Amino acid sequence: MKVFKVLNRIHLEPSKLDETIKFYEKLLKSKCELRFHHKGLELANIGSILLIAGSKEVTSHFKKTKITLLVDSLKEFRSYLIEADAVPLTNQPSLQQVKICVFPIQAALWSSTLNLKISS
């Protein structure tokens, strides 16, 4: 089991995404590594920051997840967290995602094979 990256999540309005990407690129001296659309959101990753842009109605559903972890094996992390008394909340194998509640934090695990994330 390996965590490749821990991402801090920042929610913002879509109109602010480009300027916020530029700000964090300059601050962290790192280029935007990943930018994609998912369920009405636009996401961008710069260094240890995951920007999540969308309307308040759409982003409100995603605010329970506090951090994102990019992992090598979703299956191993899911098993490890369940053994540590985490509670599975969802299982979406087509997206290679599992949401888990690790008391007191909600987590979403993402497989690194899709260059996605674990969120808590």
The answer to whether the pTM exceeds 0.85 is: no
Strand partners, 50: 9, 45
List the CATH number of the domain containing 47. 3.10.180.10
Strand partners, 49: 8, 46
Sort residue 39 into left (φ over 0), alpha (ψ -120 to 50) or beta: left
> Along the 120 residues of the chain, how does pLDDT read in single tens digits?
788 888 888 999 999 999 999 999 999 999 999 999 988 899 999 999 999 999 988 888 778 777 777 777 777 877 777 787 766 666 555 445 555 555 445 555 554 433 333 343
**Is the link from the previous residue into 104 a cis peptide, with omega within 30 of 0?**
yes
Domain count, the chain: 1
Give residue for tokens 């506090």.
66
Strand partners, 111: 71
- The domain in which residue 8 lies consists of 3-119
Assess contact for 44 and 55: CB atoms under 8 A.
no
Chain-centroid distance of CA 73 in Å reads 15
Sort residue 56 into left (φ over 0), alpha (ψ -120 to 50) or beta: alpha
